Amino acid sequence: MSSIFFYLIIGILIFEYLLERMLAYLNSTYWRDDLPSELSGIYEVEKYKKSMAYEKDKHKFSFIVSTLTFIAMMVVLLPGGFAWLDFIVRKYTENPILLTLLYFGILGLVSSILSIPFELYHIFIIEEKFGFNRTTPRTFILDKIKELFLGIIIGGGLISLVVFIYQSTGNYFWIIVWAVIAVFMIFMTMFYSNLIVPLFNKQKPLEPGPLRNAIEAFSSKIGFKLANIYVIDGSKRSGKANAYFTGIGMKKRIVLYDTLISDHTNEELVAVLAHEIGHYKKKHTSLSIILSLLQNALMLFILSLFIRKNSSLSQSLCQAMSGFSGIPVKQSFQIGILAFGMLYSPLSLVLGLFMNMLSRANEYAADRYAGIHYDPESLKEALKKLSVNNLSNLRPHPANVFFYYSHPTLLQRLNALAKLKRQ
């Protein structure tokens, strides 16, 4: 059975690579040198040409990264590199927790080091070329150090706890692990902006003035208690703008990028916030958390079937990672997790498609809320500016939208808002 798992993993990796490249190719078939009529009034000719150049550079870079990643995976997988690493780590310890931490720590460190040249090229060549990059080498290095620190503390802590639960509770470990993940997710939803964001960015309350007055007036009008309105220094790393809603209950807050404030009128900013408030009013945040927890429960249950202790299925799954080398592989938690992750990816893809469909529907609903309770024209102008300033591809292939987009396209959103009348 191990050979079946091995060839199945190879087939899945090949399928995912070909699917990614096919979707990228389909997207390229929608490129135009001249300004499409449907984008007239949104993009100016020169700005559109710049967006197409940006899209083409990202396309070429994506091809190189995904191809090299695929080749690297095959180079490691086929001769049993993952099994070989397990064999080496076992020379130093047989403690299940230390073994797992060392195994994934080495994989994570190597992966992070190999990805650095590509990140540098993307940030300091592509993003710099099109005027987006604000990241300094010092900021980049500090970010990497902080990410490593968080990975060790949070990632290492969670892995240690999961292995301990697995070793202590047997085949029903997934229920306890699911409960731990649920608590962690809810905790991070509530406190992410308080604990993690300050390590990378400065946040400060929106100062009193016309913008804050307009936001508070709108919030009062719709009966939405909003005490926490923050501005984040997004310009520290990029010229791109954004806004997001985070937290639940008393910990809810709206965060505006400083780049967003500098590029939009107060009416447009209130419209963007009305959209974010619409997500909260429609309970999209709560629904997203519930669905994520259900997905995690499904994944952990299936995982528990594959890595049961002393089962032939689990042993076959682990042995599959020896590739063509034939290296004997002991049944282990870390190898089982790694192999299962590759086998699970097709189901993850299907679930991701469903979540994207739901997310797009939620975006329409939040747009409608903002259009009805505030002003559809202001939201339309804000969405246009965001897209143009970020050099967004406004004519993606429908297949790309179906597979990758969590938001409807700009034209779809504008057409939906055009049907609304201000309340």
Supply φ then ψ for residue 256, to 5 degrees.
-110, 135
Question: Domain end: 230, 262, 281, which one?
Answer: 281
227 Cβ contact list (under 8 Å, min separation 6) = none
Tell me the pLDDT tens digit for each residue of 65-95.
999 999 999 999 999 899 899 989 999 988 9
Determine the structural domain holding residue 6 and report its residue range.
2-192+283-418
The pTM assigned to this predicted structure is: 0.89
Domains contained in the chain, number: 2
Q: What is the pLDDT of residue 103?
A: 94
Question: CATH code at 236?
Answer: 3.30.2010.10
- Whether 198 maps to a domain, the answer reads no
If asked whether residues 20 and 122 sit together in one domain, one would say: yes
If asked whether residues 259 and 304 sit together in one domain, one would say: no
Identify which of 55-59, 83-87, 224-228, 258-262 has the greatest average pLDDT.
55-59
To 10 degrees, what angle do helices 81-89 and 96-121 make?
Answer: 130
If asked whether residues 253 and 402 sit together in one domain, one would say: no
Q: What is the pLDDT of residue 423?
A: 45
Instruction: Work out whether the CA dihedral 210, 273, 381, 48 comes out positive or negative.
Output: positive
Q: Give yes or no for residue 143 having a pLDDT over 90.
A: yes
Q: Give yes or no for residue 421 having a pLDDT over 70.
A: no
Cβ pair 200, 143 in contact under 8 A? yes
Q: Give yes or no for residue 379 having a pLDDT over 80.
A: yes
If asked whether residues 364 and 256 sit together in one domain, one would say: no
Nearest-angstrom CA–CA distance, 45 and 51: 10
If asked whether residues 310 and 298 sit together in one domain, one would say: yes
If asked whether residues 267 and 413 sit together in one domain, one would say: no
50 Cβ contact list (under 8 Å, min separation 6) = 130, 391
If asked whether residues 58 and 165 sit together in one domain, one would say: yes
Mean pLDDT for all residues in the chain: 90
Tell me the pLDDT tens digit for each residue of 343-358.
999 999 999 999 999 9
Q: Give yes or no for residue 416 having a pLDDT over 80.
A: yes
Nearest-angstrom CA–CA distance, 375 and 274: 9
If asked whether residues 233 and 290 sit together in one domain, one would say: no
Selecting among 20, 276, 363, 375, the annotated active-site residue is: 276
Q: What is the pLDDT of residue 422?
A: 47
367 an active-site residue? yes
Selecting among 367, 375, 377, 381, the annotated active-site residue is: 367
- Whether 382 maps to a domain, the answer reads yes
- Whether 117 maps to a domain, the answer reads yes
User: Which region among 123-132, 246-255, 405-414 has the lowest average model confidence (pLDDT)?
Assistant: 246-255
If asked whether residues 44 and 178 sit together in one domain, one would say: yes
If asked whether residues 17 and 68 sit together in one domain, one would say: yes
Q: What is the pLDDT of residue 324?
A: 84
pLDDT confidence of 1, banded at 50, 70, 90? low
